[in-house]
Amino acid sequence: MPQRVQAGTVIGSILPVIQEELSVGSMEVISGASHDTASAVASIPYSLKEDAAFISCGTWSLVGMETPKAVITEKSYEYGFTNEQCYGQSNRLLKNITGLWILQELQRNWAEAGKYVSQGQMVELAETINHAPAIIDPNDELFSTPGVMTQRIREYCERTGQQAPYTKAEIIRVILESLAESYRHTIDEMEEITGKKINIIHMVGGGIQNELLCQLTANITGRKVVAGPVEASAIGNIIIQLAALGELEISGGKQVVESSFAFKTYLPSLVKVCEK
C-alpha cells in the first residue's frame, strides 16, 4: 500500500512515458479530497458553517454537515450516518440517500414507451398542481433497482394506504416532495445527534438545476436554501489543487467561488426570493 497523505499534498510528477504520450511537460500530481462529495463540500462558501447542512444533489443525494470531530454514538449508528475526513481535517457527518435516481428512471421508462419528457418539462408538469397526493420513502428498497417506477410508486402508495398518483404531473410531484421530505427527516436526525440547530442548507451539484426541488426543500424543511455551485466537485478539486501549488490561500476559496458562480437563495415560501 502507498503511504497515506493529506488531501492537497503534491505527491510527485507524471511519469516521462505519460508525458510523452500526452505531449506535455512535467506535471505535478496532487492528492485530491478522496472523492467527489469531499471535493464538492470544499467548494461551499459557507456564511456560518456551524449552523449549516449541505446536500450534494444528483442521481444520489449526500446529506451532511461539517463537524470538528467524528460523531460516533448509538443514534448516529442507528440512523445510518458515516464520518469521513474533510479537506482541512475537519469531519464530514454524512448520510447517503436517494436523489434524482427515481425521476431519471421514470424518464427512461417514458422514453422507452415513446413518450420522452425532458427534465424541464417534468418541472413544468409538477408545477401544475399544488400538492402531491402521496408521499413515498425514496430510500425504500422498492425503488433501489431499475424498473417501472410508475408501477412501483403506485404499489408503495397502495401498500401504505395512500392515494396513488396517476397523471404524469402527480407522479413527478410525488417524487419531488418525497425527496424534500427525506431531506427534512435526515437533517432533523442530524440536529438530534449533534445537538446543533441547523438554519441553512447549502445545495450543490447538478440536481440544483431543478429549481422546484430546491424550493420544495426550503418549504418542507422550513430552512433557507442556498443553491450553488452546480459543478461543485470539479470546483472544489480545483481549489484544493491551487492551494497545494501555493496559488490560492484555502481561506480565499470562499471569495473566489462566490465571485465566480451564480447562487440562488430560496426561503420557506411559495416564491423564490433572491438571486445573485
Closest to 61 (Cα-Cα) out of 105, 107, 94, 90 = 94
CA distance 203 to 185: 16
Contact 218, 199 (CB under 8 A): no
Residue with the larger pLDDT of the pair 102 and 3: 102
The answer on pLDDT for 276 being more than 70 is no
Q: How many residues does the chain have?
A: 276
What mean pLDDT, rounded, does the chain reach? 93
Average pLDDT over residues 115-125: 96
pLDDT recorded at residue 201:
98
pLDDT of residue 89: 83
pLDDT digits (tens, 9 = 90+) for 45-89: 998 899 999 999 999 999 999 999 999 999 999 999 999 998 888
What does the alpha-carbon distance between residue 200 and residue 36 come to, in Å, rounded to a whole number? 22
| Coil, strand or helix at 30 | strand
The residue type at 229: P
Residue 16: CB atoms within 10 A of its CB come to 9
Mean pLDDT confidence for 96-108 = 95
Which value, to the nearest 10 degrees, does the dihedral of the CA atoms of residues 158, 164, 166, 172 take? -120
CB 77 within 8 A of CB 90: no
Nearest to 31 by CA among 61, 13, 6: 6
Mean pLDDT of the region 178-187: 98
Strands of the sheet with 91-98, listed across from one edge:
82-85, 91-98, 60-67, 52-57, 200-204, 224-227, 264-266, 272-275
45 prior amide bond cis, ω within 30: no
* pLDDT exceeds 60 at position 270: no
Other Cβ atoms closer than 10 A to 87: 23
Q: Flag whether pLDDT at 273 surpasses 60.
A: no
- pLDDT of residue 3 exceeding 50: yes
E-assigned strands of the chain? 10-13, 28-30, 52-57, 60-67, 82-85, 91-98, 200-204, 224-227, 264-266, 272-275
Instruction: Give the mean pLDDT of 129-143.
Output: 96
φ, ψ dihedrals at 274, nearest 5°? -150, 140
Query: Catalytic amino acids?
Result: 36
Model pLDDT, residue 271: 47
Q: Which candidate, 43, 65, 67, 69, places its Cα nearest to that of 54?
A: 65
**Residue whose C-alpha cell is 440512523:** 79
pLDDT per position as a tens digit, 36-51: 899 999 999 998 899 9
- The pLDDT score that the predictor gives to residue 250 is 78
For the ranges 31-35, 48-52, 112-116, 148-152, the lowest mean pLDDT is seen at: 31-35
pLDDT digits (tens, 9 = 90+) for 234-252: 999 999 999 999 999 877 8
Span 108-122, mean pLDDT? 96
What would the mean pLDDT of 95-121 be, rounded to a whole number?
A: 96
Distances (CA, A) of 39 to 147, 172, 228: 32, 30, 14
Residue 218 predicted with pLDDT over 90: yes
Distance in angstroms (rounded) separating the CA atoms of residues 249 and 242? 8
